[in-house]
């Protein structure tokens, strides 16, 4: 879902997958958090997305997750960068 709020664009992405363990949730945007070999590419992608959103776009990104129910990412990007 995408919407405009004041001077920001809000992007929300939700999946209904396995979710992320709470103990790992705080570290998902860190480079090279190797929870499992198969997750290395996902981890690198989240790190790249985090750096683009918070650096280049001057925005914020947040992830919430419930194990067994899925994960939600919320990105807030200012319109006037």
Question: For the residues 22-27, what does the mean pLDDT come to?
Answer: 85
* Alpha-carbon gap, residue 64 to 67, rounded angstroms: 10
Q: Which two tokens stand for residue 65?
A: 């997750």
Kindly report, residue by residue over 32-53, the tens digit of the pLDDT.
Answer: 555 555 555 556 788 889 999 9
Residue 81, pLDDT > 80, answer: no
* Alpha-carbon gap, residue 15 to 26, rounded angstroms: 18
What are the extents of the domains in the chain? 2-78
| 60 bridge partner residues | 76
Tell me yes or no: is domain 2-78 CATH 3.30.565.10.
yes
Work out the percent of the chain whose per-residue pLDDT is above 90: 59
Query: What is the structure's pLDDT at 17?
Result: 92
Task: Give this prediction's pTM.
Answer: 0.79
């Amino acid at each position: 879902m995408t919407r405009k709020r004041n001077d920001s664009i809000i992007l929300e992405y939700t999946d209904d997958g396995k979710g992320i363990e709470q103990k790992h949730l705080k570290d998902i945007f860190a480079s090279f958090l190797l929870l499992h070999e198969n997750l290395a590419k996902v981890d690198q992608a989240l790190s790249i997305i985090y750096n683009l959103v918070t650096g280049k776009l001057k925005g914020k990104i947040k992830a919430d997750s419930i194990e067994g129910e899925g994960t939600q990412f919320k990105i807030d990007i200012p319109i006037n960068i």
